[in-house]
Amino acid sequence: MSTTYKHNIPQQSERTIVAYFDRQSQAQRIAKRLSDDTTSVRVERVSGKQVKRVLANAQAGVSVVEIGNLAWAGLIIGSILGAFWGAFTFSGRIPLLGIIAPTLSGGLVVVIFLWAGIFACIGWLIGALIRLFQSSSSGSKYEVRVTLPQYRLKEVERMLARAEALSVIEVENPEEIMSTHT
């Protein structure tokens, strides 16, 4: 199953970006947004094994993809839980380890910020790990292949990352990836 929104013969100065999404709706939505001002946009369903193979063989490497909303949710939830934990610790309802006991002399605000920071870091890491492990699941994915002028490369990479792409690859030779799908 594949959808091509627009296709012209690529020029020499054009590049190809490949992004993978979990859901077809995500892939179709970003493809429609990109179809007006790019040379071509193609959406295709591929297996998880093919995605892993493409990522392993990518010569250009994988660009930075935002960690996602789960990390932010973990940060916020961790901060709130840490603030409550700090307040309970300061009030004496939660026993302390010997290392952390001297922070009580800093007062309620110091203890609340200490625990909020600790829990926020833990929440951020858990959310980021969940997001990263989502990308390695073996189910089928939706590949969005975009051919565009080189000057728009970074802008489109950022758009794909904000659209929650699991990975975004700048491809030197698009035929290499095509051969791994067959």
Encode pLDDT of 7-34 as tens digits: 555 555 778 888 888 788 888 888 888 8
Residue 51: CATH number of its domain: 3.30.70
**Backbone φ, ψ for residue 178 (5° rounding):** -60, -40
Number of domains the chain contains: 2
pTM of the shown model: 0.55
Strand order in the sheet with 141-149: 2-6, 40-46, 141-149, 14-21, 167-171
**pLDDT, tens only, 115-155:** 899 999 999 889 888 877 765 555 778 888 888 888 888 88
Vertex 164, ends 49 and 123: CA angle to 5°? 100
The reply to whether 143 and 58 lie within a common domain is yes
- 124 and 79, same structural domain? yes
Most distant CA atoms of the chain, gap in Å: 71
Same domain? For 53 and 19 the reply is yes
In this structure, are 74 and 119 located in the same domain? yes
Q: Is 169 exposed, middle or buried (0-12, 13-18, 19+ CB in 10 A)?
A: buried
End residue of a domain, out of 99, 117, 134 = 134
Query: Taking all residues of the chain, what is their mean pLDDT, rounded to a whole number?
Result: 75
Q: Which amino acid is at 133?
A: F
Do residue 33 and residue 115 come from a single domain? no
Domain housing 21: 2-66+138-181
Examine the domain organization and report whether 103 and 16 are in the same domain: no
CB 146: neighbour CB atoms within 10 A? 29
Give tens-digit pLDDT for 39-65: 788 888 887 777 767 766 665 454 445
Q: Are residues 52 and 98 in the same domain?
A: no
Distance between CA atoms of residues 130 and 124, nearest Å: 10
Examine the domain organization and report whether 117 and 90 are in the same domain: yes
